[in-house]
Structure formats: structure tokens, C-alpha cells
């Protein structure tokens, strides 16, 4: 923790770089990814402050939309689309994902019931993959597509897509190489950006 505190102490010593951010934010992209500490969206994309609106959840899960049940995830997505007017939404899964790995292996999560119940939101069908593969690549990619499908059921996303002002992207990030692949609709495969 101490190195992080030390950095935070000196971070604000570049006021000229941040002064303009006081007037507001107009990010073009909502970036949805896992809470995993090895995934750093700004590092991957080179985004500066104000460019990426982020939603991070365990396993980059987009929970089912339920208008009667407010969630932080739905509020973040709605704010990004309706208020900030983002043009693109990226759902980025990653290799070696603990959440997807637990799903693929069918881990017993009774000791962490909140995690167990959250992962229950993952998808309508379990991801298929070789349980012995630590990258769980196939499972993660399947999982990303399932979350994109889920996203489409959010009313604000549905409206944005219908109006042609929103584009969805599925990404797969390799924590052990730094490589990024994107899902291509024409080939239905994740390929190098
Ligand atoms: Zn993860």
C-alpha cells in the first residue's frame, strides 16, 4: 500500500494537466471489464483522464436488466449512454480470469456466497472450455459475447443501437502478453486488433 500512497501524494503536482477537467467530462467510450488488478484499461488503451468511462465488476459480468431493482451497473451504463452520450461500449474479458475460471471448473463457492451469487448472473449457459487451461481463453471469449448480448437488453442500449449512435465491441486481453483481440462479427472469432 505504501508505494501507492507515495505516488498519490505527488500525483497532483501537475495542475495544468488537470485544470481543464473541472469543466466536465465527455468520454466517447464506456469500458466494461473485470476488477482484476492485472487489467488496466488506461494502460491498455493509452487513455488520458476524461477519455474512458469505466465499469468494473467481478468477471466483467453485466447483470440482467431489472427496472424494479436498481443496481450500480445499470446506473453506470445508463448514465454513460443517456447523459454522457458515449458512442462505443467495450466489454473486455481477460485471460486467467478467476471468475470465469471458477465457472468453467464449477468451483464450490459456498465460502464466498456473495461471489457465488454474483457469478450466478454470468450467462444463460455455462462457458465451455478445457478446465485444465489456466487462460480459460475459450470460456472468457464465450463469456464476453454473453455479456454483450445481455447489454443489448438494456433499454438505453437498445435505443442507442436502433438509432445507430452506439456500437458494441467484444475484446479479449491477455494478461501474460499484453495482447488484445477483438471479436469480429464476420468471422465470429477474436482476432488481433
Ligand atoms: Zn477477471
Residues 85-99 as b/e (b if ≥16 CB within 10 A, e otherwise) read ebeebbbbbbbbbeb
Q: How many domains does the chain divide into? A: 1
Q: Looking at residue 92, what DSSP letter applies?
A: E
Give domain status of residue 58, yes or no: yes
For residue 52 the three cell numbers come to 474512458
Give domain status of residue 11, yes or no: no
Give domain status of residue 21, yes or no: no
Give domain status of residue 161, yes or no: yes
Measured in Å, residue 59 CA sits from the centre of ligand 1 at 4
| Residue 106: pLDDT over 60 | yes
How confident is the model at residue 27, as a pLDDT? 96
Weakest-pLDDT range from 6-15, 92-101, 104-113 = 6-15
What mean pLDDT value characterizes the chain?
93
Task: Give the pLDDT mean for 153-167.
Answer: 97
Q: For the purposes of burial, counting CB atoms within 10 Å of the CB of 82, is it exposed (0-12), middle (13-18) or buried (19 or more)?
A: middle
Measured in Å, residue 92 CA sits from the centre of ligand 1 at 10
CA angle, 174 as apex, 158 and 110 as ends, to 5°?
Answer: 75
Give domain status of residue 12, yes or no: no
Measured in Å, residue 162 CA sits from the centre of ligand 1 at 30
Concatenated DSSP letters of 106-153: T---TTSHHHHHHHTTS-SSPPP--TT-TT-HHHHHHHHHHHHHHHHT
How confident is the model at residue 8, as a pLDDT? 87
How confident is the model at residue 89, as a pLDDT? 98
pLDDT in tens, 56-81: 999 999 999 988 888 999 999 999 99
| Short-list 173, 164, 111, 168, CA closest to 145 | 168
| Residue 147: pLDDT over 70 | yes
Give domain status of residue 41, yes or no: yes
Task: Give the pLDDT mean for 41-48.
Answer: 96
Query: From CA 113, how far away is CA 140, in angstroms rounded?
Result: 22
| Residue 129: pLDDT over 70 | no
Decide: helix, strand or coil at residue 183: strand
Give domain status of residue 16, yes or no: no
Task: Give the pLDDT mean for 15-40.
Answer: 92
Task: Give the pLDDT mean for 146-173.
Answer: 97
Task: Give the pLDDT mean for 142-164.
Answer: 96
Concatenated DSSP letters of 148-177: HHHHHTSHHHHHHHHTT--EEEEEEE-TTT
| Residue 39: pLDDT over 60 | yes
How confident is the model at residue 78, as a pLDDT? 97
How confident is the model at residue 67, as a pLDDT? 84
Domain with residue 160: its CATH number is 3.40.1050.10
| Residue 21: pLDDT over 60 | yes
Q: Which residue has the higher pLDDT, 105 or 15?
A: 105
Task: Give the pLDDT mean for 39-66.
Answer: 96
Measured in Å, residue 35 CA sits from the centre of ligand 1 at 6
Measured in Å, residue 93 CA sits from the centre of ligand 1 at 7
What are the two backbone dihedrals, phi and then psi, of residue 32, each rounded to the nearest 5 degrees? -105, 120
What is the extent of the structural domain holding 103? 26-192
CB 52 within 8 A of CB 41: yes
| Residue 126: pLDDT over 70 | no
Measured in Å, residue 61 CA sits from the centre of ligand 1 at 9
62-69 contacts, C-beta under 8 A, 24 or more apart: 62/32, 62/91, 62/147, 62/150, 62/151, 62/154, 63/121, 63/150, 64/121, 64/150, 64/153, 65/150, 65/153, 65/154, 65/155, 67/155
Give domain status of residue 44, yes or no: yes
Amino acid at each position: 500500500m505504501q508505494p501507492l500512497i507515495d505516488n498519490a501524494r505527488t500525483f497532483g503536482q501537475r495542475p495544468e494537466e488537470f485544470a481543464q477537467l473541472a469543466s466536465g467530462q465527455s468520454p466517447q467510450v464506456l469500458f466494461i471489464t473485470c476488477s482484476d488488478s492485472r487489467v488496466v484499461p488506461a494502460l491498455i488503451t493509452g487513455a488520458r483522464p476524461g477519455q474512458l468511462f469505466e465499469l468494473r465488476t467481478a468477471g466483467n459480468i453485466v447483470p440482467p436488466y431489472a427496472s424494479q431493482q436498481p443496481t450500480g451497473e445499470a446506473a453506470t451504463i445508463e448514465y454513460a449512454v443517456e447523459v454522457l452520450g458515449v458512442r462505443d461500449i467495450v466489454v473486455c474479458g481477460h485471460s486467467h480470469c478467476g471468475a470465469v475460471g471458477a465457472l468453467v471448473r464449477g468451483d464450490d463457492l459456498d465460502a464466498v456466497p456473495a461471489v457465488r451469487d454474483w457469478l450466478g448472473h454470468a450467462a444463460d449457459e455455462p462457458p465451455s472450455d478445457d478446465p485444465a487451461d489456466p487462460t480459460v481463453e475459450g470460456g472468457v471469449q464465450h463469456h464476453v459475447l454473453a455479456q454483450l448480448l445481455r447489454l443489448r437488453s438494456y433499454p438505453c442500449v437498445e435505443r442507442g443501437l436502433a438509432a445507430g449512435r452506439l456500437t458494441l465491441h467484444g475484446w479479449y486481453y491477455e494478461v501474460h502478453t499484453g495482447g488484445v483481440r477483438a471479436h469480429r462479427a464476420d468471422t465470429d472469432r477474436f482476432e488481433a486488433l
